[in-house]
Amino acid sequence: MNLKSKLKYINKTVMGTVLILGLGVTGCKNDDPKPDNNTNGAIVVTVNQPADNQDFNHGDTVWISASIASQHTLHEYYVEINDMTALKRVFIAHGHVHTGPSAHIDTFWVNNVTQSSNMDLIISSSTHEGAAVKDTTRFTCQPL
C-alpha cells in the first residue's frame, strides 16, 4: 500500500475511535461530582505487553497487558490491533469501567496474518470529566 492509502486508513481509524468514544460518553449517566478547575484529568496508559517492536511468528499468542490510571473515575477503554500492512483491524475489545480511577487490561490475540505485517496496538480511554488518551505500541507479525 502506498503512503496516501495508509494515511487515509489511519484517519478513518482515528475518526471511528473518536466517534465511538463520543457515543459512549453520551450514553452513560455520570453520578460522580465534577472536579474543580484546578485538578489534572490526565490519564496514563502503561503497556506491559507486548513490547514495542516485538516480533511474533504465525500462531504465537500476543498477550496484551496494560494498566490505565487517572485522577478521576474512568469511563471506558478500547483495545485495538490494526494490521497496518493489510490496512484492517484484526482485534477489538471494549471495557466500561465506572469503578474508580484505574483499570487493568489482560487479554490476547493469536497471530494469524498471511503476510509479514506491521501491527499497531492502540489503547484508548476516557473519563466522565472529558479527559481522553490514546497510546500506540508497534510490533510485527510473520506468516507461516
Q: Residue 63 belongs to what domain range?
A: 3-27+44-141
Number of domains in the chain: 1
pTM over 0.85: no
CATH code at position 93? 2.60.40.2550
35 lies in a domain? no
Would the CA dihedral through 21, 24, 92, 72 be positive or negative?
positive
Average pLDDT, the chain: 81
Cis-peptide, bond into residue 50, ω within 30° of zero: yes
Confidence band of 42 (pLDDT split at 50, 70, 90): confident
pLDDT tens digit sequence for 47-69: 999 999 999 999 999 999 999 99
110 lies in a domain? yes
**pLDDT at res. 129:** 86
Dist CA 24 CA 127 (whole Å):
11
More confident: 108 or 2:
108
131 lies in a domain? yes
33 lies in a domain? no
**pLDDT at res. 3:** 58
20 lies in a domain? yes
